[in-house]
Structure formats: C-alpha cells, structure tokens
Structure 1
Amino acid sequence: MVEHNKQEIDRHELMAKYDKESNFRTNLGSWGWVTLIIGTALTIFQLYTAYQGAKVSMVQGAIHLGAALSLVYLLYPIKSSMTKQRGVPWYDALLALMALFTNFYIVYNYEHLINEAIIFGFTAFDQIVATAGILLLLEATRRVVGLPIVIIAMVALLYGLFGNYIPIIGHAGYDWPTLATEMFFSSSSIFGTPIQISSTYIYLFLFFGVILVKTNIGQFFNDIALRLTGRYTGGTAKAAVAASGLQGMVNGSSVANTVGSGSFTIPMMKNAGFKPHFAAASEAAASTGGQIMPPIMGAAAFIMASYTGVPYSEIIVIALIPAILYFSGLFMGTHFEARKQGILGLAKEQLPKTKSLLKRIDLFAPLAIIIGFLLAGKTPTFAALFAIIVAFVISFFRKDTRMKMKEIINLLEEGARTALPVIAACATAGIIAGTVTTTGLGPKIAGGIIDLAQGQFFLVMFFTMIACIILGMGLPTTANYVVTASMAAPAILAFDVPVIAAHMFVFYFGIVADITPPVCLAAYAGAGIARANPMKSGVTAVKLAIAAFIIPYMFLSQPMLLLQGDANVWNVSVAIITAMLGMAAVSASLIGYYIKSLNRVERIVLIAGGLLLIYPNIAISLAGLVICAIVTVVQLLQNKTEKAKKQVS
C-alpha cells in the first residue's frame, strides 16, 4: 500500500513538472465542496444538452467557458509554487466569480448582444465586460495551459489593434472597444468553432476517457496489447506501443498519457532489458501517436471536420492508413532495437490469460460502439453519449470496475477537471483564429511562406513543417491544430491539393512537437519515469516516430493515401506495401540493426533505399527495393560468414 501511494505521488509530481494542467491545488479545504459542485454541475449540463440538444452556440459556449474558468481560478494558483497552500486566496475566489459573471452576462443578455447592440452599438458596460472577459480568459489559460499560447494570443490582439502600423502584412487596424466586443460577443472568435466543438463533442469524449480510467477499463486495453504482442521479440515494447496508442487517442494529451501509461509500461520495458532512454522514447512516441489514431484522434478531428467541411465519419476513415503506417514504423523500430539488444518476448506464464480476457471482452464494447456508430453516420454527440452510458453500466458488472456513489460524484467532477485545459486552450485559440480571419492575416502569412520558398512546393511544405513544429511546442493538441490550421495551412492550400490533405499535414506536424527536441514534453515526462537522459530520450523518440515526419509529405504528394484523387484498391495497396517496406528500411537504418549490426555505409544506403520505397511511385519504389535488396543480401552473406567462423572456432 505504501509503495502504491509512493507511485501515485511520483506520478503526480511528474505530471505537475511536465504537464501544466496537472499542477493544481492539492489542499482546497472547504473550497473543495465548491469545486465539486461546479464541476459536477458542468458535467451534468454537458450530458443533459447532449441528450436534450445543445443551446444556441454562444449560450452553450458561455456556460461551458464560464464554469470552466471559475474552476481554473479555484484550482490553479497564480504561481505554480503555491499549489500546496491550504484553501483558495480571496483574490482567486473573486476572479472565479468574475469569470462566471462575464460569461453568464452573455447568457442573460443574449438578445441584446445579437440584436440591439449590432444596430445601436455596444454600451460602455458591454465593452467593460468584454475587456474583463478577455483578460480573465488569458490569465486562466496561462495558469492551466502555459505561457506560449497566451503570448501568441496577445500578439494576435496587438496585431488587431496596431495593424495599420505594420508594413507588408498590415491592415486597417481596430480600436480596442471594437476589437474587444468582436472577440467576446461574436461567434467567430472566443466563441467560435473551437469552443463550439469543445462545448459539444470534445467534452463528452474527454469524459468518456475519464470513465475508462476510473473504471479500470483502460487497464483491459493494456492486457489485450500485452497478450497479443508480449510473446514476440521485444514484446514488452510492442505491447507498450499498442496500449499507449489505444489510450492516447481517447486521452488527448501526449504528456498525460505518457505518464499514465508509462508508469506501467516503462518499468516493464526496463525489466525486459531495454535501456531507460529507449523505454521512455517508445512510450512518448506511442502516446503522441495516439492523437492521430482514429476514431477519436485526441478530439482535434472534430474541429478539423468543421474547418474542412469533411464529415467526421469520413475523416476517421481517411486518417486510418497514415496512422497504420505510423504505428507500423514504431513496431519496426522497437523490433530492431530488441534484436540489437537480444531482448526476447515474455514467457507464456507472464502473459494475461486468454480465458481471463475473454471473460472481460464486454469491456471493449464502449469503444466498439463509438467506432460503429460513427461509421454508421451517427453524430459524434450521440456516439459519445451512448458509449458513456454503456461504459457506466458495464462498470457495475464487476467488483474491480464497480463504483460507489461517492466515486460517481467524484467522476463527474473529474470529467470537468480533465476538460479545463482543453476548454481554456480552445477559447484562447479562438482569439488567434478570429484575428487571422477578421484581419486577413492567414493569406498574408501563406503568401510570405510561398515567397520565401520561391514557389517551390517542396520548400513550402518544409517551411510549413518548421512553422507547425514551432507553433506546436507547448500547446495542447486541439489548440495547436487551430493555430496551425489558421496560420500555416493556407500556404499548402495555395497549391492544387485536397483541403483535408493540407489540414492533416499541419495536424501531424503540430502534434510531433511533443517529441521534437528541444521542447519535447512527452519525452521529458517519459524520461522522468525511466530515470533517463531527457534529451537523449527526445532524440530517440524522433528516430522511432520518423514515420510522422515522412508520411505527411507522402500524402501531400500522393493524396490517394488519404483515399483522395485516383485512389483505388490496387494503387492504395501498392502504396501501403512499398511504404511498409520503406519504413522498415528507414527504421533499421536509424536503429543501426537489420539482420545484423549495420555499418555506416549500410545505414546510409538503406535509408536512401527506404525513402525511395516510401515515395508513392512504382518506378521510384522499385529502385528503392533493389537498393534495399542489395543491403539485405550483403547482410545475409556477412551473417552466414560470421556464423561459419564461430563454428570453426
């Protein structure tokens, strides 16, 4: 029991260190009742409107955001060093009350704000409320998400104010009353698409993820992954990749999933013989990749559906092939590392029993329901709500998943707590997206990238990739997609590519920022668990996740990998097979082991052949296949010679 408590403390300390959203007050005292009431009320409101139908978008968003911001001020102190102080200071209680007031002002004055104010102008008090609402949002976001997105939002506001003084990418400029009311009282900025999606779909899916964790259904995913892969070479690492991918798509946070899953998978990998930095890297890469794995994709796919006009049920199908290629690359990387280190699979008696898993197969029902309903064309709201109900009911069938009344109430509050960083990030990202839209900044940035690349498509892709990785550093998944889709995607869309391909491109590179040095928070969190070198873990994570840096170029060059254009069974099948072979070659080269250890020349030749194989063109892929075949023959002959020498000696 003591050891279990120590692990929980260590996990919380790691989360607080690398994940801003986990650095909350731990000793609320009597204020705990207030957060319990507000959090439970917010979750019940979301469940009720999911069943009964959402309110008008701005009213729904205002209730959603107001409750969330008040919780942020009650749970997150002004300085991270103050989390262990007892209670809530008077000024944070006042800020929480103001956050409720400014947002519920919209609820109670909705008709005035959308009718009278548009015709006769906003009153001075309207302008004061809008200003206070923006400032309260930015400060709450700083506390729960971090400074990077707040800085970007503030730069966006300054650009909106002083655009007339900025050369080349300038605009006419707005006065503060006009800008503030446009940001806070319209459905195109703070209460734009991101918060509208957050207040309907995203909250439900995050709550669904909380239920999976609290009822131990998530552990069932771990057991399935271990049973399927554990007996093979490097089976513990492969199980970690599979389990973390499954849980990461629901969790929506690379860092949170790395710590949550990693506390189980990383020690298991280390015990099997994997080096600490590799165990940390594979967990971080898999947890990050979970956000590109259909059907949930870390919740950002809901916003993508709105931005692109592509139905969500189609996006989860379109995203499947790239996700399969990504996780295939991870499996190959762990396989070659296991071969290199001589790490075998687990013994049969160490694996979960098939009979035991079959007895718990009903625990897979909630996820199966989501997938089935979405593919059947049902709305994400309906699919998530039904899956929540099923998961809740199933939890009562077993003692280890059954919850008491107190746990159910805490579950409702935990749902709200989990959603706070996403809600704050979506609202703040709305400021950025709104500024980009109202000032016409998006096309200007796109034009700048194209001019810098001198119209060369490959260079445009490369510069956009760099921009997305930089913008994605330190931002949650949903926020980094909103920012990159608003500021970087227009550069890609200037060329003749499908809209969904451009948005998937920026989505991928915004996400891999979590494992890309120097700001690779997921890798740092994994390194904290593994007691490994953080930077070494980050570099290794990039090697393992190399597919994420290659695949976006592939589907922009050949959109058939996203089932666009001339996609047919033959073309897609050939592209997938050659890409898999190429991924294996690239992974082997980066790990430094294929049939046997690779020397420097073999690694260079193999990575070149692998990249040619990955390029979706039959003639080029055949050339890559020949190159890889030559390296394979050389390795086989060397291996045969070495074995013969050992036998003679």
Structure 2
Amino acid sequence: MARKDNQQVESQKQELNQDAIQEEEVESNERELSGWIRYVFLAIAVIGALYHIIVLNFAPQDPWVFRSTHLVFGLVLGLLLFPGWGSKKNKIHIIDWILILVSIYIGYYIYANLDQLLFRMGVAPTDMDVYVSIAGILIIIELTRRTSGWVLPILAGVFVAYAYLGPYLPGILQHQGYSVERFVTYIFGLDGVFGVTLDVSSKYIVLFIIFGAFLQISKVGQYFIDVAFAIAGGMRGGPAKVSVFSSGLMGMMNGTSAGNAVATGSLTIPLMKKVGYTPRFAAATEATASAGGQLLPPIMGAGAFIMAEILGVKYSEIILAALIPAILYFVSVYFMIDFEALKRGMKGLSRDKLPKFKDIAKQSYLILPIILLITMLVNGYSIILSGTVGIVSSLVASWFSKSTRMGIKKTALALELGMKQSIQLIAVIATAGIIVGVIALTGVGMRFSSMLLAIADSNVLLALIFAMLLSIILGMGMPTTAAYAIAASVVAPGLIKIGIDPLVAHMFVFYYAVISAITPPVALASYAASGIAGTDPMRTAFTSFKLGLAAYIVPFMFFYSPELLMTSETGLEIILVTITALIGVYLLAAAAQGWFYKAYAGWLVRSMLFVAAISLIYVNYMLDFVALVLVLVAGFIQWKIGHNSSEEKAG
C-alpha cells in the first residue's frame, strides 16, 4: 500500500513537470478609444467621479435624481466603451450614439418631472412615462449584456416573463398578473431599478471603486503584491501563497471576482507555473483567492454595504461579524496550496528574485490609506467620509516618493479608471434592480419563504441546504454584488422567517452568492483565470471548487456556532469556537488534498478526516471527542504508512 501511494506521488510529480502550457492573452471586449472620443470619455469619467464625491460630501441631491444621474453616467460611459457587436468594434456605431442620447434624455426626464413621477410611476403613469421606462430597461439590459454576457439579462428576462405568465402558472408561482403600463413604470421606479441596490451603488460602491483606482495608480496595489512576495515568495509554493494574500486584498476592494482574477492573475499565475504548479491549479488558486476577497473585511467587494443597508445595522457590525469566517476561508485555501506543494516537493522562489525587505520598509507609508480607512470604519465614522478620506490619503501618500507621485494627469487617470471600473457594476446592479422589483411586485420572494418554512418544519438542515443551492444558482454567471442583491431578496427572507437571526441569514446567502463565481458549471472567476493560464475552463472550475471547499461549509459553521460571527458576549466562547473551526478547516484541506502527516492519504484516511472536520462544525463536546478519535486513528495509519515506507527504503 505504501509503495502504491509513493508511486502515485511520483507520477503526480512527473505529470506536473511535463505539463507546460504557454500563457494566453485574454482578449478584452472594450473598445480602444482614440482621438477626440478618447478625450470625451476622459472628460465624462472625470466629471462623473468628481460629481459623486462632491454630491456625497458637500451638495446632497434628491435620491432619485442622484441615482438616475449615477445610472446615466454608467450608461453613457458603457455605451462608449463597450461595443454591441464584433465587427469594427473600435468604431462607435450610430445606434450607440442614439442610445447615449436616449440615456441622457431619460436622466433629464426624471429630473424635470420628479414631483409628478413620485406619485404616478407604477400607479397611474402617462404614455411618456411608459416609453421612458421601456427605453431605460432595454438600455440597461443591453449594457449588462455587453459588459457581463448573457446570463444576467436572461435571468432578468425570466423574471419579467414571470410577471406576465403568473396568472397561468400553477401553485405557489401563480399571481394576478399586471398591465404593461403598471409593470414597466413600477420596475423603473424606486422599488425596482432605482431601489436599494442602485442606492448603495451610487453612495458607496462607486466611491470605493474610485478609492481602489487611486490605490492602483499610486502603486499601493503593487505594494501589497511586493509585501506578499517578500513574506511568502520564498516559502514552498510561494507564488501561490502570494496569490492568496494579494488577490484577497485586491479582490476585497474591486468588487468583481473575475476582474480581479485577470488583474492579479496576470502576474501570479505565470509565477505559480514556474515553481511547479500545473496551469490548472495555478488558475484555480487565483480564482479562489479572488472570490475570497469579496468575503474579506472591511470592504468585502461592496456587498457588505448592501447588507448593512438592508439590515439597517452599523457597517462596523457587518465587518466585525465577517472577520472570523473570512479568516477560516483563507486559512483553508492556504493549507490547500501548502499540501499541494508538499505533495509535489516544490520550493519557493530564490531570495534574489524577491523584493528586499529594506525597500519594502522604505515605502511602508503607502499602506497608510488602508490603515486609516479601517480605523475610521471600525470607529463608527460614516462609510462616505471614510471612503473620501481614503481617496485623499492615497493621493497625499503618493507624494512622498517621485516614483509614486500623482500629479494632475495621474489624478485625472485615477478618476477615469474609477468610473471605468464602475461601469459593469452599475449595469449589473441596475439589472439586479429589475429582478428585485419583480420579486417585490409579484411577492415571489414570500412564496419561497413559505416553501423554506414548510421544509424547515421537518428539517432545518434540509432548508439550509435548499437555501444554499438556490443562492448559488441565482448567483451563477453574475458579479458578486448583483448575485447577493438577488439572493438577499429571494432566499434571506425565507431563512429569517424560519427563525434564523437576520445577520446570520444574510451572511449565509452572501457567502454562497460569492462562491458561485467558482462553482461549476458557471464559474466566472475560474473561467477568467483559465484564460490567463491557458487551461481548460471547466476543469479549472472543478479545481477551484475543491480549493474553496471550506466556503461551502463555513456558513453552516456560523449557523450552528453563531459565536463565529462574534455575537457571543463571552470572549472565551468565541476563542474556543474559532480554534475548533480552524482545526476543522485544516482537516478539511487535508481530506480534499489527500495529504496528512507527511504522507499521501488514501480514501479511508481522507474519509475519516472529512467526517472529523464536519464533526467540528457544531459546538458539542461529544462530537469534538469523535473528531479527536478519528484524527488520532488517521494519524496512526499515516505514521504506519511512513514507517513501512522507511523500512522498505532501508531494506
């Protein structure tokens, strides 16, 4: 048995050494703007970024006017940047110009008729209200198609169809039906497109994306990567551990798993391949770390802003509750890649190829904006003020070195980059608003709540599994923020109705909305990373699923042990539960990777480790004892394998 296991490890190493695939460039679907159009785009983007900063801090506007202007900026910039079809994609088509003018008119129409629209939209609309609403909905869906593909537009289409087909459907799906006039004006009102999702996008998300752009232009983002390489680059499988650290931090700020996988993966994936990871494993590691960034406080990819708004709690409560589960996730991913490195006998990069600590220390001032931001958020300052101070402090921090200094030109580029990176999120969040509006109008969310309640009457665990699957399915193919917004409308109310604490319920669906980005068959982050690595997208998705396995179990951990969300008044309880949870994710990683106690683990040992990990989910001394016994037995088996192997070599 030992000889067979050793041969398997050797064959894995040989397969790794033979597997070398050239890196492929990921083709962008953006136009390459040039000439006067390039300057027009720059001007609109800079004005848009400054408009948001000024209005949020100094000149408040009516919420509907502000949200509609926010949307118009996204539509205009998106239609300029993203072509609708492939031929002559760098030339802006006459149809795009027409759509741009219509988008601007929609914003003007809302501004000019605000007082009347507040009372008649969705109730007694005029013909022009209907035309404006239909045009707005179609342009939003078209821009979402251009920026994010067909998945979300198709899902929105399904919900729109449901609004009309409801009278003909059986059972809990049936509803009375609605006229076109009422439906489109309701959806294009404050309960749909311009509801809570676009409210959070206009107030918080765009501000933090601009903050992330300033970090990028001021080289703070690169500084994170340099620090990660200096600390972890020399460890076994170092570049993969760097990917976990840097991609987690960058993913936390930019709000899109797939985009982050491409941005940081272009650096980390080739390095992972150089030290011996297969292209598929390298891409999966990057995708898993990028998705995990959405779970990492204090920004959590902007999803936390929506959660705080929906729950009506302080933002600091959300980030405090998210801290331990995020640590569990990244600890699990770390052990996954460490076991992979052990199995393959890999080493890290040589010290002469890594950034020097003294150079890192000289630029330590670059991390001050992040420290300042976290300090302000934890101490209860408003999200808007904290984000604005973060932007200004990034600008100031850049002035301390000539290599990072941001003048007028770089500042304008940072403002432009912030609005450019906001386009996709504005589009998908507006489309998510369409879906949320249909859910509110038809009451289908409450019907799902009733279904969950019926399931929970017989088995709460079964209800949670159903909620998990539904959250993942609703989130597949969508950016994290939109995925959570929809899951929060459909699934979370049902969990709350069956008696689960609102914070636990929303954190539960948030986790599964996030990891839908690495869940086959539609795993956007995995597909994006596979393009960088030049490997099969579906196989990469399944490897990502394995690496992120802890994320599928952690929500059940904090349901059965809410102390993980720091809800307990006793610090000792939180510490004990955290320790057992850390042991659990370690055992889970060992079971998934088939490596325990310095040797390859067979299916018997892996099964024992998996059961032990699951046993540690619930706070129960008997189950903890069972887990301890299983680990000791598994350790003895592994020791015996290693002992026999040593005797064979000696013989």
Q: Same fold (TM over 0.5)?
A: yes
1:77 correspondence with 2:77: no
Deviation at 1:270, TM superposition (A): 1.4
Equivalent residue, structure 1, for 2:210: 207
Equivalent residue, structure 1, for 2:286: 283
In structure 1, list runs of 5 or more residues that go unmatched: 1-9, 17-22
1:494 correspondence with 2:497: yes
Moved more, 345-354 or 236-245: 345-354
Deviation at 1:239, TM superposition (A): 1.6
Residue identity in the other structure for 1:574: L
Check 1:53–1:616 CA distance in 2 against 1; reply closer, same or farther (3 A cut).
Answer: farther
CA offsets per residue over residues 375-431 of structure 1, 9 Å max, x none? 010111100100000101222222322235333323222211110111111111111
Residue identity in the other structure for 2:137: I
Residue identity in the other structure for 1:579: A
Does the CA contact (< 8 Å) of 2:476 and 2:516 recur in 1? yes
Deviation at 1:468, TM superposition (A): 1.4
Equivalent residue, structure 2, for 1:55: 61
Within 2, Cα distance between the matches of 1:134 and 1:390?
A: 38
Equivalent residue, structure 2, for 1:24: 30
Does the CA contact (< 8 Å) of 1:310 and 1:500 recur in 2? no
1:593 correspondence with 2:599: no
Within 1, Cα distance between the matches of 2:130 and 2:588?
A: 57
CA offsets per residue over residues 28-87 of structure 1, 9 Å max, x none? 5432232222212111101111221431110110110012112222222222x23x5343
1:568 correspondence with 2:570: yes
CA offsets per residue over residues 454-511 of structure 1, 9 Å max, x none? 6421111111111111111111111001111111222322222110111111111111
Check 1:297–1:118 CA distance in 2 against 1; reply closer, same or farther (3 A cut).
Answer: closer
Deviation at 1:620, TM superposition (A): 0.7
Within 1, Cα distance between the matches of 2:221 and 2:123?
A: 54
Equivalent residue, structure 1, for 2:13: none
Equivalent residue, structure 1, for 2:11: none
Within 2, Cα distance between the matches of 1:192 and 1:459?
A: 32
Within 2, Cα distance between the matches of 1:274 and 1:428?
A: 39
Moved more, 238-247 or 294-303: 238-247
In structure 2, list runs of 5 or more residues that go unmatched: 1-22
Does the CA contact (< 8 Å) of 1:164 and 1:171 recur in 2? yes
Deviation at 1:344, TM superposition (A): 2.5
Query: Which protein, 1 or 2, shows the higher relative CO under an 8 Å CA cutoff with sep ≥ 6?
Result: 2
Equivalent residue, structure 2, for 1:337: 340
Alignment partner of 2:349: what SS? Answer: coil
Equivalent residue, structure 1, for 2:42: 36
Deviation at 1:211, TM superposition (A): 1.5
Deviation at 1:128, TM superposition (A): 1.9
Equivalent residue, structure 2, for 1:226: 229
1:68 correspondence with 2:80: no
Within 1, Cα distance between the matches of 2:159 and 2:447?
A: 14
Moved more, 372-381 or 510-519: 510-519
Residue identity in the other structure for 2:432: A
Within 2, Cα distance between the matches of 1:643 and 1:236?
A: 31
1:624 correspondence with 2:632: no
Residue identity in the other structure for 2:231: L
Q: Give matches, 1:136-155, under 5 Å.
A: 136-155=139-158
Q: Give matches, 1:270-419, under 5 Å.
A: 270-419=273-422
1:603 correspondence with 2:606: yes
Q: Aligned to 2:424, which of 402, 421, 426?
A: 421
TM-score (norm 1): 0.93
State percent identity of aligned pairs: 37
Equivalent residue, structure 2, for 1:479: 482
Does the CA contact (< 8 Å) of 1:266 and 1:280 recur in 2? yes
Moved more, 158-167 or 602-611: 158-167
Check 1:296–1:325 CA distance in 2 against 1; reply closer, same or farther (3 A cut).
Answer: same
Q: Aligned to 1:14, which of 16, 26, 33?
A: 26
Equivalent residue, structure 1, for 2:132: 129
Within 2, Cα distance between the matches of 1:241 and 1:438?
A: 42
Equivalent residue, structure 2, for 1:5: none
Within 2, Cα distance between the matches of 1:78 and 1:407?
A: 30
Does the CA contact (< 8 Å) of 1:446 and 1:490 recur in 2? yes
Does the CA contact (< 8 Å) of 1:433 and 1:483 recur in 2? yes
Within 2, Cα distance between the matches of 1:24 and 1:151?
A: 22
Within 2, Cα distance between the matches of 1:111 and 1:37?
A: 31
Equivalent residue, structure 2, for 1:577: 579
Does the CA contact (< 8 Å) of 1:244 and 1:261 recur in 2? yes
Q: Give matches, 1:252-271, under 5 Å.
A: 252-271=255-274
Deviation at 1:563, TM superposition (A): 2.0
Residue identity in the other structure for 2:32: T
Residue identity in the other structure for 2:489: S
Deviation at 1:601, TM superposition (A): 1.4
Equivalent residue, structure 2, for 1:102: 106
1:556 correspondence with 2:559: yes
Equivalent residue, structure 2, for 1:180: 184
TM-score (norm 2): 0.92
Alignment partner of 1:614: what SS? Answer: coil
CA offsets per residue over residues 155-190 of structure 1, 9 Å max, x none? 323333443333322222221111222222x32211
Q: Aligned to 2:451, which of 432, 448, 452?
A: 448
Does the CA contact (< 8 Å) of 1:74 and 1:88 recur in 2? yes
1:88 correspondence with 2:92: yes
Residue identity in the other structure for 1:176: V
Check 1:119–1:491 CA distance in 2 against 1; reply closer, same or farther (3 A cut).
Answer: closer
Deviation at 1:612, TM superposition (A): 1.3
Equivalent residue, structure 2, for 1:111: 115
Does the CA contact (< 8 Å) of 1:15 and 1:525 recur in 2? no
Check 1:338–1:118 CA distance in 2 against 1; reply closer, same or farther (3 A cut).
Answer: closer
Residue identity in the other structure for 1:14: V
Within 2, Cα distance between the matches of 1:144 and 1:402?
A: 32
Deviation at 1:216, TM superposition (A): 1.7
Please report the RMSD computed on the Cα atoms of aligned residues, expressed in angstroms.
2.0
Equivalent residue, structure 2, for 1:198: 201
Does the CA contact (< 8 Å) of 1:285 and 1:545 recur in 2? yes
Deviation at 1:619, TM superposition (A): 2.0
CA offsets per residue over residues 584-643 of structure 1, 9 Å max, x none? 111112111112111221111221122213333232122112211221122223323423
Q: Aligned to 2:537, which of 534, 538, 556?
A: 534
CA offsets per residue over residues 333-391 of structure 1, 9 Å max, x none? 11111111111333333332221111111110111111100001011110010000010
Q: Aligned to 2:467, which of 438, 461, 464?
A: 464
Residue identity in the other structure for 2:233: G
Equivalent residue, structure 2, for 1:6: none
Equivalent residue, structure 2, for 1:437: 440
Equivalent residue, structure 1, for 2:9: none
Deviation at 1:443, TM superposition (A): 1.1
Q: Aligned to 2:162, which of 153, 159, 162?
A: 159
Within 2, Cα distance between the matches of 1:503 and 1:559?
A: 13
Does the CA contact (< 8 Å) of 1:581 and 1:614 recur in 2? no
Deviation at 1:27, TM superposition (A): 4.1
Check 1:353–1:141 CA distance in 2 against 1; reply closer, same or farther (3 A cut).
Answer: same
Deviation at 1:288, TM superposition (A): 0.5
Check 1:581–1:179 CA distance in 2 against 1; reply closer, same or farther (3 A cut).
Answer: same
Within 1, Cα distance between the matches of 2:438 and 2:177?
A: 11
Within 2, Cα distance between the matches of 1:302 and 1:118?
A: 27
Deviation at 1:260, TM superposition (A): 1.0
Alignment partner of 1:501: what SS? Answer: helix
Deviation at 1:247, TM superposition (A): 0.8
Within 2, Cα distance between the matches of 1:114 and 1:345?
A: 62
Does the CA contact (< 8 Å) of 1:230 and 1:346 recur in 2? yes
